[in-house]
Each structure stands twice: as C-alpha cells, then as structure tokens.
Amino acid sequence: MKKLLWLTAAVMTATTPAGAATLTDSIRADMPQLMTLYRDLHANPELSMQEARTPAKLAPEMRKLGFEVTDHVGKTGLVAVMKNGPGPVLLIRADMDALPVKEQTGLPFASKVRATTLEGVETDVMHACGHDTHITTWLGTARRLAAMKSQWSGTVVMVLQPGEELGLGAKAMLDDGLYSRFPKPDVLLAFHDSASLPAGIIGVARGYALANVDSVDIDVRGIGGHGAYPQTTKDPIVLASRIVVALQTLVSRENSPFDPAVVTVGSFHSGTKHNIISDDAKLQLTVRSYTPEVRKKLLDGIARIARGEAIAAGVPENKMPVVTVREPYTPATFNTEKLSSRLIDLFGSHFGPNRVVETKPVMGGEDFSQYWLADKTKEATIFWVGGVPKAKWDAAGGDDTKLPSLHSPFWAPEADTVISTATEAMTIAALDVLKKS
C-alpha cells in the first residue's frame, strides 16, 4: 500500500503545481511576523469557552485582509468569510483553546498565566495541545489566500473555534447558526500538530482518524461507618475497586479484538480518614471507540457491571451506583475517502513523498467531527503536521512513548516548522479545492 502511494506521489512530482516555489517563498517571508504572533499566543493562553483576547487579536487582522468578520459565534468563536466568485465553499477551522496545565518547557516565552476554569478551579494555563500553532497557521493561510485571490474561485469560511478541549466549541458554533448564517461549506479542512511525527512530516489518515470520546461518572454508594466494624457497613471503596477490575473485561473479554476500544478509570475518590468507612466513592472514566455499536456495547456494559457488582456486594436497591454519561460526547472524526486520498497525493507531489505518511487512526478525540456529522454529504479531512524536533525524534529512536505527548507540560513543538509546513499544506489544499474550472 505504502509503495503504491509513494509511486503515485513520485509520478505526480513531475506535475508540481505552478507557483509552488513562490508559495514557499512567500510563507518564508511571512514567518518572522507569524512567529511573533505565535509567541504572543503561547505566552497568553486562554481556557476553553473563555477565549477573549485571542479572537479579539485575530479579528482585525482578518478584516485587514478583506474578510467579512463576525465575532461571538458560539460564545467566543470567530467566523471570517471571503467570497471570491463562483465555486465551492471551503471551511478551514482552527481551535484556539488552551489547557489547565502548568508549563514546564523552559521556553523564554513560556506561559505564566493563571485562570479559573468553568468549574471555578484556579489553575495554570498552557497551550499544551499546540492550538497556538493552529491559530497562527490559520492566519498564515488566510494571508496567502487573500494574496492569491486571482488563483482561486469560490468562498472561504475561516472558523476560529473555541472550547475544543471540552468538546463544546464546534457544537456551540453549529448551534449558533454556522451553517445557516454563513455560506454552508462543501469541504471541511483542519490540521493538528503531532507529537508522534518528526517536525515537518505530514500525516493523513483515511477513514476514521480520531475516536468517539465519552466521559462517564460512576457514583458508587455504600453504607458508611467505623473502620473497626466493617460488618455494619457496605464499603464503597471495596465495591468500587471490584467495579474497576470488572470493567477491564469489557475490552479484553466482551469486545472483538478487531474493534478498537478503551475503558480507562482516570479518577477514584473516596474517604476522609484511616478509620472511617466512607458512604460513597466516585469514579471518572474515559471511554473510547470508533463505531456507534462498540460505543453502545461499552456504555451498556459499564452500567451493567456497576449494578451487577453492587448486587453482589449486597448493596440495597435504593443505593445502586449512579452511572452518568456526560453530554455532549465527542463523536469519532471521519476523514472522507475522496478528500483524504486526494490530499495524500497532493501533499506527496508538492512536498515530496518523504514528507507525507498515511497515518493510523488514534484513540484521541476531536470535535472537528461535528462539522461533518452535521452534514455527511460533505468532504472532510483533518491532517497531522509533525512537531517533534528531528534531533529529539532521532534520540528517541522514533519511539514516541519516550517523548512528551500532546497535553504534556513539556510539549514544545518545533513551532516554526509546524506553522510553515501547515500553512503551505493548508494553502495548496485550499487552492486545489477552489481551483478555477
């Protein structure tokens, strides 16, 4: 499969789009300005659904380029539209939120920002998922498309989305009329920086790219009492422990080995003191899958196991565990066949086959999925751009488990390579979608 791919790319190199060198040069010339923006965004991260400074900074830039800009779409989102004659409508999305993480990269422009989450918890804030590279690339691409207006025809809808990390932003923008108040897109594009690829390498998955993500809470209720008299209690810690162990069999014994699935208990809280048996224990789970069928099997299984173990422990009916699947969940992200295959060929011919790989799906989640799910007749692809500095990649022998992952306080992508590569990739993808007939 790979050989065939490289061959296709090699054949297509002979027909490199006209103006490729010019595009690379103009992006190179723009990089000092883009990197100034990047460092500013990195030093001033904002938590999900509380983005204010970021859209306010980008809006005038987009107006200057001739985009029609609307702010506060889906609370803090920004939509910038450029109509340039007949043709398809292309949506290019960047997410702009950061994470409650204390930065430890040691970068000179590292974040020192503290803020309060929607739940009221004060925290350090860091662009630990690299969304600052996405925002910068978004502007870089807008600048190129504005400068190259004579080379394309159609409409570009640039979306700066809030709240990706909570899985809320895309839905908030769609609910706020993204597809009715603005030109409805035919093609959807986004990229994400990658901690699993060397800097400047582009990865494209065909079909499923990222997983269904459900957050599940289990409130395990017992009967509290004195630690010395367990016979008078129903110990929720012992019961919750049994539930945690039994949950492991959902993936290992009930699910087909050919269907990807993850059930992780990420949080287990109970009790106050050595000699008190608590009356409840709280579990928090992340549940990952691709298909709706596997998702249902896992969620049904979690409810069944929690109840079954409580019955086995002799918990009374009115104290059965309460299982809550949080809404909204993040649905799996699907790269449509036609567009993802086209991009693999296009990127291969433009950058050379050594810079493009076909990637496997990952169990991470992305609410970019929502844009395609809102209308499945459209074409959609999210691609990866590697951010791991080459020397670090080589030192780790290409083993990404030895490197900081996305969301790590140490994640410091080689930002200039990510931004220049992604801007070039996004621009040629846009020019291809919007080519004059």
Q: In this chain, which stretch among 64-72, 129-137, 231-239, 250-258 interacts with Zn ion, using CB under 5 A?
A: 129-137
Q: At what angle do helices 2-13 and 337-351 cross, to 10 degrees?
A: 60
In the bound complex, what is the minimum distance in angstroms from residue 124's beta carbon to Zn ion?
16
Catalytic site residue from 97, 235, 366, 432: 97
Q: In this chain, which stretch among 121-129, 248-256, 351-359, 427-435 interacts with Zn ion, using CB under 5 A?
A: 121-129
Assess whether 280 carries a catalytic annotation.
no
Q: In this chain, which stretch among 20-28, 127-135, 291-299, 335-343 interacts with Zn ion, using CB under 5 A?
A: 127-135
Q: In this chain, which stretch among 124-132, 155-163, 219-227, 283-291 interacts with Zn ion, using CB under 5 A?
A: 124-132
Contacts 24+ apart (CB under 8 A), 413-416: 413/130, 413/133, 413/193, 413/195, 413/199, 413/387, 413/388, 414/199, 414/200, 414/387, 414/388, 414/389, 414/390, 415/35, 415/38, 415/42, 415/132, 415/133, 415/136, 415/387, 416/31, 416/35
| 273: phi then psi, degrees, rounded to nearest 5 | -160, 160
Structure tokens at 18: 């006209």
In the bound complex, what is the minimum distance in angstroms from residue 323's beta carbon to Zn ion?
26
In the bound complex, what is the minimum distance in angstroms from residue 192's beta carbon to Zn ion?
6
In the bound complex, what is the minimum distance in angstroms from residue 165's beta carbon to Zn ion?
5
Question: In terms of CB distance, is 129 or 195 closer to Zn ion?
Answer: 129
Binding-residue total with Zn ion (CB under 5 A) = 1
In the bound complex, what is the minimum distance in angstroms from residue 95's beta carbon to Zn ion?
6
**Per the omega criterion (within 30 degrees of 0), is the bond before 108 cis?**
no
Question: In terms of CB distance, is 62 or 129 closer to Zn ion?
Answer: 129
In the bound complex, what is the minimum distance in angstroms from residue 129's beta carbon to Zn ion?
3
Output b/e per residue, 280-310; b: 16+ Cβ within 10 A.
bbbbebbbbbbeeebbebbbebbeebbeebb
Catalytic site residue from 164, 309, 366, 414: 164
Give the C-alpha separation, 380 to 61, whole Å.
26
Which position has the token pair 């069999």? 249
Assess whether 164 carries a catalytic annotation.
yes
Question: In terms of CB distance, is 244 or 422 closer to Zn ion?
Answer: 422
Given a contact cutoff of 8 angstroms between Cβ atoms, the answer to whether 386 and 200 are in contact is yes
Q: In this chain, which stretch among 125-133, 236-244, 329-337, 353-361 interacts with Zn ion, using CB under 5 A?
A: 125-133
Element (H, E) at 432: helix 415-433
Work out whether 209 is an interface residue with Zn ion (CB under 5 A).
Answer: no
Give the C-alpha separation, 212 to 288, whole Å.
5
User: DSSP characters for 29-61?
Assistant: HHHHHHHHHHHHHHHS--BTT---HHHHHHHHH
Q: In the bound complex, which residue of the shown chain has the CB atom lying closest to Zn ion?
A: 129
In the bound complex, what is the minimum distance in angstroms from residue 65's beta carbon to Zn ion?
25
Question: In terms of CB distance, is 152 or 372 closer to Zn ion?
Answer: 372
How many residues are listed for the chain in this entry?
437
According to CB under 5 A, which one of 65, 101, 125, 129 is a site residue for Zn ion? 129
Angle at 357 between CA 354 and CA 363, to 5 degrees: 155
Question: In terms of CB distance, is 156 or 190 closer to Zn ion?
Answer: 190
Active centre residues (catalytic)? 97, 164
Judged by the rule CB under 5 A, the positions of this chain that interact with Zn ion are: 129
